[in-house]
Amino acid sequence: MQKHASEHPVSRPQDAATAQGERGIEIRSVTKVFGTGQAAFRALDAVSLEIRGNEFFTLLGPSGCGKTTLLRLIAGFEQPTGGEILLGGEAIGHLPPNQRPVNTVFQSYALFPHMTVAQNIGFGLEMLKRPKAEVQETVREMLALVRMEHLAKRRTDQISGGQQQRVALARALAPHPKVLLLDEPLSALDYKLRKEMQSELKRLQHETGITFVFVTHDQEEALTMSDRLAVMSEGRILQVGSPREIYHHPRERFVADFIGDTNFLTADVLSAQGPSARLRLTCGGEVAASVPSGVTAQGRVTAAIRPEHVRLTAPGDGDLDATLETLTFFGTDTLYHCRLADGIALTARVQNAEPDGQPTAPGTPIGLRLAPGAVQVLTD
């Protein structure tokens, strides 16, 4: 224990700026199989991933996609069936959780019910056998960081869910780990508290300079909080990138569908060159599209376009012709549900810029204009 502590001097907040660009976590073709024989379940299938030092990284995916398993492998609660996990260039896959400079914020918080708030926060440092004065000092620091000074002596069942969340955060941050793992920590909170904690987490990550690995199934949370994110499905990582990249340039149908709302179109490739292509849509009409890097677009493909990238115009004036079927008023915008000539449904999201604008009546033919570069060719 003490040996480990001296070998891995964990970065303190003030070192954060200088530590920029340090090596984070490398996951090298990690596989995790639960059970054996017929009952075997492959939770992770040769997953490779690089998480940079000091970034806010999110693992996003539906339940059962393997994101929590990956988190537990990094924490050390599970051992990989195959592959390697490196932290700062050192293999840590074989180390038990108590020898990894990594701490976890659990979904259920897992606060120790027989200890006070302050005792919970100090637990990690106490186990690291830090001097008493240092433990007290850090606990005070952490209580201030999460704004809980006034509740230090409370028992953990005497504080609210949001406060428990802050204590769980402070407890995991107190030993100044290299990496903080967060397993859907906001899922138990109501909407308003969740919003509050989202910005709180961003602030804490910024102030401590610790690498945050955040697991969630909430795409909005992932988009608003992450520096980069990985979209996972069925034990594989489908795409890694910044929220902007993932949102605007999804590579696969699953990614485009899981994040945000999307219209799917079928089209034939007319010509393709590098990252761009010209497509003829099956409903008629030619459009320019972007192609994911490393993919040669040819033949029949699926393309995606976000509803907010579709604009309504007069019939014959747009890229496509369609019939307006229904519309849904959302306050800030209105959704126009249209049908294309080949029977495919397409939705346009239009901002209600003028309060007294008259919406187009359902049943009328309209033209649709697609924003330049908004059509994205997908690899299925």
Partner 1 sequence: MATTELDRPKTASPPEARDPEREATRRRWLLNLPAIVWLSLFASGPLLVVILYSFLEAGSYGGVEWAFSTEGWFNVLLTRDIFDDTLQIQDAHLTIFWRSVRLSLLTTLLCLALGFPTAYFIATRAPQNRNLWLFLITIPFWTNLLIRTFAILEWIRAQGVVNSGLMGLGIVEEPIQMLYTDFALTLGMTYVYLPLMVLPLYASIEKLDFRLVEAAYDLYATRLQVLRRIILPLVSPGLVAGSILVFIPSLGAYVTPRVLGGGKNMMLGNLIELQFGQGRNWPLGAALSLTLLALVMVALLVYVRAIQKGASDG
Binding site for partner 1 (CB under 8 A): 1, 75-77, 96-99, 102-104, 106, 108, 110-115, 123-124, 127-128, 155, 171-172, 175
* Closer residue to partner 1 in complex, CB, 127/270: 127
CB nearer partner 1, residue 159 or residue 295? 159
What span, in angstroms and rounded, lies between the C-alpha atoms of 321 and 237? 37
Closer residue to partner 1, CB minimum distance, 76 or 250: 76
Give min distance, CB of 310 to partner 1, in A.
46
Minimum distance from CB of 65 to partner 1 (Å)?
Answer: 21
Nearer to partner 1, 9 or 357 (CB): 9
Closest CB 147 distance from partner 1, rounded Å: 22
Joined tokens for residue 245: 């990249």
Q: How far is the CB of 143 from partner 1 (least distance, A)?
A: 17
Structure tokens at 229: 């994110």
Neighbours of 377 (CB within 10 A): 23
Structure tokens at 5: 């502590």
Helices (H) and strands (E) in the chain, counts: 9, 20
What number of other Cβ atoms are within 10 A of residue 223's Cβ?
18
Question: Which residues, in sequence order, are CB contacts of 117 under 8 Å at separation 6+?
Answer: 143, 148, 151, 152, 153, 154, 155, 156, 159, 167
Q: Which CB atom, from 143 or from 346, has the smaller least distance to partner 1?
A: 143
CA nearest neighbour of 63 among 43, 78, 79: 43
DSSP 97: G
Nearer to partner 1, 48 or 108 (CB): 108
Q: What minimum distance in Å lies between the beta carbon of 205 and partner 1?
A: 19
Q: Which two tokens stand for residue 116?
A: 């006070």
Q: Which is nearer to partner 1, 35 or 315 (CB)?
A: 35
Query: Smallest distance from the beta carbon of 169 to partner 1, in angstroms?
Result: 13
By beta-carbon proximity to partner 1, the closer residue of 56 and 109 is 109
- Here the contacts of 276-280 (C-beta below 8 Å, separation 24 or greater) are 277/377, 279/303, 279/375, 279/377
- Take residue 323 and report the two structure tokens written for it: 């019939």
CB of 208 to partner 1, least distance (A): 17
Q: For residues 289 and 274, what is the distance between their CA atoms, to the nearest angstrom? A: 11
Distance in Å, CB of 90 to partner 1, minimum: 17
Handedness of CA 131, 137, 139, 141 (dihedral sign): negative
Query: What residues form DSSP beta bridges with 180?
Result: 103, 212
3-state helix, strand, coil in the chain (%, to 5): 30, 35, 35
